[in-house]
Amino acid sequence: MLAYIWLIPLFPLLAFLANGFFGRKFIKHNAHAVSIVAILGSALFSTVAFIAVVRGATLHHNVYTWVFAGEFQASIGFQVDALTATMLMIVSIVATCVHIYSIGYMHGDDSYYRYFTYLSLFCFSMYMLVLANNYLMLYVFWEGVGLCSYLLIGFWFTNPAPPAAGKKAFLANRVGDFGFGLGVMMIFATLGTLDYSTVMANVPLISTSTATLITLLLFLGATGKSAQIPLYVWLPDAGEGPTPCSALIHAATMVTAGLYMIARSSALFNAAPFTLTLIATIGAMTALMAASIALVMKDIKKVLMYSTISQLGYMFLGLGSGNYTSGIFHLMTHAFFKALLFLGAGSVIHGMSGERNMFVMGGLKKHMPTTWWTMFAACVAIAGIPPFSGFWSKDEILASAFKSGNYIPWAMGCIAAFMTAFYMFRLLFLTFYGESRVDEHHMHHLHESPATMTRPMIFLAILALISGGVGISWPLENGFIHKFLGSVLANQHHGSLPVTLEFGLMGFSVLIAVAGILVAYLMYIKKSVSPEKVAGAMGPFYKLALNKYYVDEVYNFIFIRGLVLGGGKFLWDFDAIVLDGIVNGIRHLTIFIGNFSWNFDIWIVDGIVNGVREVILFVSYLSALVDGNIVDGLVNAVADGIGYLGKGYRKVQTGFVQNYMLIMALGFFVIIGAYFVIL
Amino acid sequence: MANLLPSVQDILLLTPEIIILLSGLLILLITPFVEPKYQRITPSLAIAGSLLAFIASQSLGAGHRVILNGMISVSLYSAFFQNIFLIVNFLVVLLSLTYLEEEFANMGEYYAMLMFATLGMMLMAASSDLLSIFLALELMSVSLYILAGYFRRHSESNEAAIKYYLTGVLASAFMLYGISLIYGITGTTNLRAVGDFIGVSGSLARDPALGMAMLMLVMGFGFKIAAVPFHMWLPDVYEGSPTCVTAFMSVGPKAAGFAAVLRVFYVGLGSLRLEWTVIFAILSVLTMTTGNLLALTQKSVKRMLAYSSIAHAGYAILGLTVAGTALEGAGMSSLLFYMFSYLFMNVGAFAVLILLRKKALTSESLDDFNGLAQRAPFLAFLMAILLLSLTGLPPTVGFVGKFYVFGAVIQVALTGNGFYGLLAVIAVVNAAISAFYYLRLLMNIYLKDGAETLTWRYSHSLMFVIVFSALATLYFGIFPGSILSLAQQSVKILL
């Protein structure tokens, strides 16, 4: 039934190869066509797969046994069930929109083909990540999407900021991935398998303490990839990459990999109540902290980045409350409205010729009407105004936190909800309403974005408004998505609240959202409340939020200055030169074989060779140390110390064949003597 | 006695061998009549022959059939090795092409001898009788003696040939003596029958004459796989032979030797496995340690590769020692995989030596490679892949090969056999020592500055071999699964 599933990742892989190998010389500014055809193919088959899964089909199939090592066997295999199908749809929809949007946004960029090459590679990795049927493959493609993320963050590597942001993402993720890797190893050490279904079936065999340790390690991985306390610091800087890729990677898909992994392992996490409580607490703390920083940011993309961290925190709160469906539900609605917000912000930045500071915008509504109304739709969705999508998923998360007894995280979530409504409408008001603060120069260029950019936004806006519908039902939590995902996620059921309390909580959510919008309205439209005075009144809190709680400074002091300064350069060179070089280098290797000639492009080979040289320089440096101290010593020891052996051997190799034959015969007689003596 | 005339079906099973034989004969036949300007006809025939034989070998199927009165057994096992030989043959013909032309030695006889040596190796891997093994081995050896002395105007080449011949004859004499002793004791030379005979009469295993026969076979085969102390010929022969012949000798005959050793000792002398595992264990320690320590002291790259090939044989013998334990399947398949993995990296490394060389047989020293990365970045990069693979670092096939051999030894050690634990430690220490001299060459290439002292002898065929080897090294390093399962399937017929 689902036998064609391998086609889904194959299309972007082919697009990646085509653009990678032939992009620079042949495809050039048609690179988008290749990638878009591929993503449309994947989206088509994802939809077919989704429909098949809705009708009850599932798939669990090993394609190829990759590693044999005694007991350990790692397979490349696919698993398709409700969770996979949901993720496939989210990835396909957002990726398709972003691909089309990128035509306009990246138009005229020198590295147009390179951008689409990376984008296709990312889609391939992301599809493989959600299609995997075991933890090893998950880990491999977890790193794969990470690689694409670094490549895209550092895409404009000629400026200093993007590579620095890429480096930061790389370092923060190393910490998380270290934990994730250990967790995967512990699963194997405990259960002897990495296959999802076998692991989940054997969860009852694991003791609570082991399950807690494993899940804590996995969660550490999730905090890195999904940007939670304490490893969220890389995500705000990730906005240095092209904005469409922020929409795809850093809002909708890659950063949700951590949530996907936890939902995928829901049975395992249920066996570790402590970890679940910790996840709920960390999620709520992250939601609140990131939201408070978003209140005061001036850079439009920074607001959205902190907003993403905050919303991811909500999703973790949902997972930690044992209601995995609510986390994935919010993941879906968030993917649509946050991708839309990023695309909208990109449209604004595009229109403003690269300007990101909201305080020099204002009054853009009449210049960019489509951007305005689509972003407005996204803002009502994220703020939690019924009946739009964000309201249903966020409210369900808060309700499950309340039901599972996580009252303090629930309260933190409510405060963050107020902040969310406030900062989103602050963004909207500062950008699109009021007096124009745009200077002459920018005003001259100000324009609505082309149709390739606005149409995907309109499509996402519709989804942002209505996609909550899949979760609406009476009685509550009995909608399509609950039935669909409930079959594969091991949700904990905490009973239901009295109907009045349910509606009370719902009403309360709406109330705080409206209050947030109202405050933003008073501050930035009516100007009856002065933001400066509020900031002054809040004093130290304002300063803390403005400086992002000094987390970067603390980390910098403890880790970067302390530990990484030396290694950082190496890591960065590795990232920038080797990874980039390998992608370019492989391409040229093939062109070379294709032409079967010597006159291949020295330019790229230089790239790869320089990259390899960096690595080899390092290895060689070590080797030189070893060579100078150990090898020379060893050689000397062989020659002098064990002179008999060393010099003896050299002497034995006389060059006279009669000596050789003598030694062969002697060796034979020694063996025969020893054999019969011992026998 | 069975029907002496083979059936057509039996003969068809030998299609790859027959193709190689016919192409060798055809080359020999037309060589005198080929005009100099068409001299590339002979290597083209050799390439066509090996490709055809390769295709034929794939189509034989997975069955196990014993033919020609038990002399030959055609199976996945023989096919696995034959594929190695045919790939080596193909690559070496490409290597030789311009090399021989530039040294004014491009004559058809060279390719004919290459084909006959390959034929000998193929038959060796397929033989299931001591006599057919010996005959195949001699066919291979005689062809190799001629190939070693192929630069007949160079005294080094003559020296290599005569040394190889004299020591080889001594080893053959010992081996034949061993075979005759076994025939005297058991009354048969068929390996299955020998194995059954010794197995049935339990007391025979401790017969001194049988022990003597076994040790003589150890020496005879030890010479072919260059196990210390029967390795003395190797450095001189490898250094003196034309480099393309060295590339051929370092892979093909060794793999053929291991193919025969595994059959002779595991099938024929299986009852003596306690004895021969100990002997091979000691030989493997001696072999890898000697090979590595002496490689460390070499200044000539060719000689260094010669000694390092001794060390690699030592690792492979480790797989042999595991084949004599309860984990026999793992031991044998790891040995097969190691042979496969060694093919690409070694042929590739010698190809680099042919591409970048001084004239004829002058040795290239380590210092000649100084600063290669600046002069020829792409070639340096390919060489780096090959050297990393020889060192045994991921993601190359050299890593996977070492991983499975060492892994098999460690698995035996984990069953409580402390002796194998010691073997594993020695093997790992040796692998570390080998890293020093491989990475030192890499350091010369990338870190040091140096003037051009080597001549570029670029040709498409040479570059193809290098790129092909490097790509195969990477590909099978990342996707070893198919070859590994093939190796596991192949050894099943011996179990």
What span, in angstroms and rounded, lies between the C-alpha atoms of A154 and B483? Answer: 39
Q: Report the domain count for chain A.
A: 1
Strands B356-357 and B65-67: unpaired
What span, in angstroms and rounded, lies between the C-alpha atoms of B271 and B204? Answer: 9
B409, closest residue in chain A (CA to CA) = A70
Lowest-pLDDT choice from A646-660, B78-92, B402-416 = A646-660
Q: How far is B448 from chain A (nearest CA, A)?
A: 10
User: Does the residue A552 lie in any domain?
Assistant: no
User: Does the residue A124 lie in any domain?
Assistant: no
* pLDDT score at A340: 95
* pLDDT score at A587: 52
Q: Residues of A with CB below 8 A from B380's CB?
A: 609
pTM over 0.90: no
What span, in angstroms and rounded, lies between the C-alpha atoms of B441 and A322? Answer: 58
Question: Do A605 and B229 lie within an 8 Å CB cutoff?
Answer: no
* pLDDT score at B444: 87
Q: How far is B436 from chain A (nearest CA, A)?
A: 7
For residues A16, A21, A24 and A28, what is the CA-based torsion angle, rounded to 10 degrees? -50
Provide the token pair at A157.
């590597």
Residue among A592, A652, A668 minimizing CB distance to B174? A668
Question: Do B443 and A68 lie within an 8 Å CB cutoff?
Answer: no
Provide the token pair at A160.
């200093």
- The distance from CA A8 to its chain's CA centroid, rounded to whole angstroms, is 20
Average pLDDT over residues B440-446: 87
Q: Residues of A with CB below 8 A from B162's CB?
A: 657
Residue among B167, B440, B463 minimizing CB distance to A664? B167
Residue among A617, A639, A657 minimizing CB distance to B167? A657
Most confidently modeled of A587-596, B250-259, B288-297, B410-419? B250-259
Probe site for chain B from A662, A675, A677, A678 (most B CB atoms < 10 A): A675
* Residue B120 near residue B132 (C-beta atoms within 8 A): no
Percentage of chain B beyond pLDDT 90 is: 59
Give the single-character DSSP code of B154.
S
* Residue A77 near residue A62 (C-beta atoms within 8 A): yes
Q: Residues of B with CB below 8 A from A620's CB?
A: 439, 442-443, 446-447
* pLDDT score at A102: 94
Question: Which of B261, B265, B313, B262 minimizes the C-alpha distance to B287?
Answer: B313
Question: Do B436 and A631 lie within an 8 Å CB cutoff?
Answer: yes
Probe site for chain B from A62, A140, A590, A619 (most B CB atoms < 10 A): A619
Residues of chain A with pLDDT under 70: 1, 68-71, 558-652, 679
- The distance from CA A523 to its chain's CA centroid, rounded to whole angstroms, is 35
Q: Residues of A with CB below 8 A from B467's CB?
A: 589, 592-593
Angle, nearest 10°, between helix axes A389-403 and A300-320? 40
Q: How far is B62 from chain A (nearest CA, A)?
A: 20
Question: Do B378 and A671 lie within an 8 Å CB cutoff?
Answer: no
H/E run at residue A611:
helix A602-626
Query: When comparing pLDDT for B416 and B473, which is higher?
Result: B473
Task: Give me the total of CB pairs closer than 8 Å, taking one residue from chain A and one from chain B.
Answer: 148
A589, closest residue in chain B (CA to CA) = B467
Q: Residues of B with CB below 8 A from A608's CB?
A: 381
Query: When comparing pLDDT for B226 and A642, which is higher?
Result: B226
Q: Residues of A with CB below 8 A from B206's CB?
A: 679
Question: Do A66 and B481 lie within an 8 Å CB cutoff?
Answer: yes
Residue among A589, A620, A661 minimizing CB distance to B447? A620
Probe site for chain A from B212, B232, B476 (most A CB atoms < 10 A): B232
Lowest-pLDDT choice from A449-463, A558-572, B47-61, B256-270 = A558-572
Question: Which of A301, A263, A50, A70 minimizes the C-alpha distance to A165?
Answer: A301
Q: How far is A589 from chain B (nearest CA, A)?
A: 9
For residues B174, B175, B178 and B183, what is the CA-based torsion angle, rounded to 10 degrees? -140
* pLDDT score at A582: 59
Question: Do B440 and A668 lie within an 8 Å CB cutoff?
Answer: no
Question: Do B443 and A652 lie within an 8 Å CB cutoff?
Answer: no
ipTM over 0.90: no
Lowest-pLDDT choice from A581-590, B45-54, B214-223 = A581-590
* pLDDT score at B394: 85
* pLDDT score at A642: 41
- The boundaries of the domain holding residue A367 are 272-546
Q: How far is A254 from chain B (nearest CA, A)?
A: 25
* Residue B70 near residue B3 (C-beta atoms within 8 A): no
- The distance from CA A108 to its chain's CA centroid, rounded to whole angstroms, is 27
* pLDDT score at B284: 95
Q: Residues of A with CB below 8 A from B403's CB?
A: 69
Residue among B208, B377, B411 minimizing CB distance to A70? B411
Tell whether omega for the bond before A387 is within 30 degrees of 0, i.e. cis. Answer: yes
Question: Do B443 and A620 lie within an 8 Å CB cutoff?
Answer: yes
B230, closest residue in chain A (CA to CA) = A664
Instruction: Supply the mean pLDDT for chain B.
Output: 89
* Residue B324 near residue B273 (C-beta atoms within 8 A): yes
A194: Cα within 13 Å, side-chain hemisphere = 26
CA distances B357 to A198, B168, B247, B369, Å, are: 57, 29, 15, 10
Q: Residues of A with CB below 8 A from B404's CB?
A: 69
* pLDDT score at B339: 95
